[in-house]
Amino acid sequence: MSSSNDIDLNAYVDGELTPEERLEVLDALQHDSELAREACELNNLKSQLQLAYANPPGLSAGNIARRGPSLLTIAASIVMLAVGLLGGWLVGNEQAPKDRLVLLDPDGRGQAPATAESQETRIVFHLTTPDQFTAAELLDDVEQMLDTYKEEGKPLRVEIVSNGEGLDFLRESMSMFKDRIHEMSQRYANLTFVACKNTIDRVEVQHGVDVKIVPDAEIINSGVDYVVKRQQEGWIYIRV
Amino acid sequence: MCERTRLRPSHWLAPVLFTFALSAAAVAEPPARVVYHINFDDPSHQINALHNLENQINAADGRIKLLVMLHGAGLSLLLYPEALDHTTGMRLANGDQEMLARVDHLRDLGVRFLVAANSTRRHHIDPFSDLHGVDPGDMVPSALLELTQLQQQGYIYIKP
């Protein structure tokens, strides 16, 4: 990334520009694909940060009105301090938020539905690069992880979501990994490949081609929306 | 003064909520723990990531534990240029003086750079002679496994 555009882009992504400035940036984005990519990267980072800080623990100290304390108030405060400490301790020690319970893959693909008691590790890999080295390494490492967890008897569920430039990975005409994807899908019932329909539609419009996705992959509406939901459901997120 | 003996919510509610919040925060909020994921080799992208790390340390006033997980093309960050020739599948070696000075500065501030053994094997890199300042303790078997386990331990994941 470079140049004075950074400042404008950050402000643009954060929605801090005046309408005129915004138009200017939008115009620049249309004519400069590199700039558009940077804006997209910034936006991605912003979403990640928002998600990371979506539920900050604890409250900040509010304003507490100062009054002359009576003995009773002091005594009550001590009792309440104890109650507060105990309550805080209970809240702080609670293992996992309740909303981590998820039901997924309604059509199953051979996978049992997740339950609250499940110790299953769930990981969503978000593939957004067309880089072949990265994709090859991803498949190697995922395969190794699936084998390791299986050997150790630990339940694991993995999804690889491709969108944007990462969609090539799952395209019939572009993917260098079709055979490997097919072979791994057959071998691991707990591995799912997922393609983003928004990207498919966009590529079809922009390049006037019919985009075919490998038969082993599922298709969902929005890749970004999907990985955000997965994180909210307690999945581990790794962007490759 | 009036009604000194009656205990009204206005007397006790605020202190209770405050105490509750404080103690919950004290238990649930140790210093933030964050892991940065670097598997790309574009040097300006890498420098940006190092800037992010430094900014985050400053913003947190040092009360933060930061890890950087390097694997794949991301190993180029610590790779000495003269080592590039005998590696395989690496396109860049960005470990020049300027980059390594930034890395050393971050290490001085407490940032740890983890290296995936999977990747060093795959690319024929000797982690202790081809990469800058890596100790055996910085090596992890698999980057994706490590990123998974760190998140399970409560680390926040950032892909710059």
Cβ separation A81–B142 shorter than 8 A: no
Interatomic CA distance for residues A154 and A151, integer angstroms: 8
- Å between B72 CA and nearest CA of chain A: 7
The mean-pLDDT minimum among A71-85, A160-174, A191-205, B60-74 falls in A71-85
> What is the number of structural domains in chain A?
2
Residue A114, number of CB atoms within 10 A of its CB = 19
* Residues A143 and A219 occupy one common structural domain: yes
A211: in domain:
yes
Query: Does B50 contact A at CB distance below 8 Å?
Result: no
- A1 or A238: which carries more pLDDT confidence? A238
Q: Is there a contact between B115 and B138 (Cβ–Cβ < 8 Å)?
A: yes
Q: List, as one string, the DSSP characters of B85-134.
A: GGSSS-------HHHHHHHHHHHHTT-EEEEEHHHHHHTT--TTTTBTT-
**CATH code: domain of residue A125:** 3.40.1260.10
Q: Quickly tell me which residue has 């404080």 as its tokens.
A: B22
Q: Which residues contact B65 (CB under 8 A, 6 or more apart)?
A: B31, B32, B33, B34, B110
Tell me the pTM. 0.67
* Residues A38 and A145 occupy one common structural domain: no
Find the domain containing A164 and state its range.
118-239
Q: Which of A42, A61, A41, A45 is nearest to A53 (CA)?
A: A45
* Residues A205 and A127 occupy one common structural domain: yes
Residue A86 has pLDDT above 90, yes or no: no
pLDDT tens per residue across span B90-134: 999 999 999 999 999 999 999 999 999 999 999 999 999 999 999
- Which of these CATH numbers, 3.90.850.10, 3.30.450.20, 3.40.1260.10, 3.40.640.10, describes B31-158? 3.40.1260.10
- Å between A122 CA and nearest CA of chain B: 9
Residue A53, number of CB atoms within 10 A of its CB = 10
Instruction: Read off the pLDDT band of A104 (50, 70, 90).
Output: very low
Cβ separation B19–A81 shorter than 8 A: yes
Domain end (from A13, A37, A52): A52
At A210 the three-state DSSP class reads coil
What's the confidence (pLDDT) of residue B31? 87
Query: Does A118 contact B at CB distance below 8 Å?
Result: no
Residue B31, number of CB atoms within 10 A of its CB = 11
Q: Is there a contact between A42 and A10 (Cβ–Cβ < 8 Å)?
A: yes
* Residues A124 and A48 occupy one common structural domain: no
- Å between A186 CA and nearest CA of chain B: 22
Q: Which of A49, A92, A129 sits opposite B27 (nearest CB)?
A: A92
Q: Is there a contact between A164 and A156 (Cβ–Cβ < 8 Å)?
A: no
Surface of B (20-49) touching A: CB under 8 A: 20-29, 37, 39-40, 44-45, 48
Q: Which long-range contacts (CB under 8 A, 24 or more apart) does B54-62 make?
A: B54/B105, B54/B106, B54/B109, B57/B106, B57/B109, B57/B110, B57/B111, B60/B31, B60/B32, B62/B109, B62/B110
The mean-pLDDT minimum among A20-34, A203-217, A223-237 falls in A20-34
Domain ranges of chain B: 31-158
Q: Is there a contact between A88 and B24 (Cβ–Cβ < 8 Å)?
A: yes
Interatomic CA distance for residues B65 and B128, integer angstroms: 24
Q: Which of A119, A124, A116 is nearest to A99 (CA)?
A: A116
pLDDT tens per residue across span A51-62: 555 544 444 444
Interatomic CA distance for residues B28 and B5, integer angstroms: 36
Q: Which residues of A touch B22 (CB under 8 A)?
A: 58, 61, 84, 88
A82: in domain:
no
- Å between B34 CA and nearest CA of chain A: 10
With CA atoms as reference, the chain A residue closest to B147 would be A238
Residue B13 has pLDDT above 70, yes or no: no
Distance of CA B16 to the CA centre of its chain: 36
* Residues A122 and A46 occupy one common structural domain: no
* Amino acid at position A25, single letter: V
Query: Does B71 contact A at CB distance below 8 Å?
Result: yes
With CA atoms as reference, the chain A residue closest to B52 would be A45
At B64 the three-state DSSP class reads strand
Residue A240 has pLDDT above 90, yes or no: yes
Cβ separation A134–B72 shorter than 8 A: yes
The tokens describing B30, both together, are 């140790």
* Amino acid at position A216, single letter: D
Q: List, as one string, the DSSP characters of A107-169.
A: T-TTPPPP-TT---EEEEEEE----HHHHHHHHHHHHHHHHHHHHTT--EEEEEEE-GGGGGG
pLDDT tens per residue across span A149-161: 999 999 999 999 9
A202: in domain:
yes
What's the confidence (pLDDT) of residue B128? 98
Torsional sign, CA A181, A184, A185, A186: positive
- Å between B85 CA and nearest CA of chain A: 18
Residue A45 has pLDDT above 90, yes or no: no
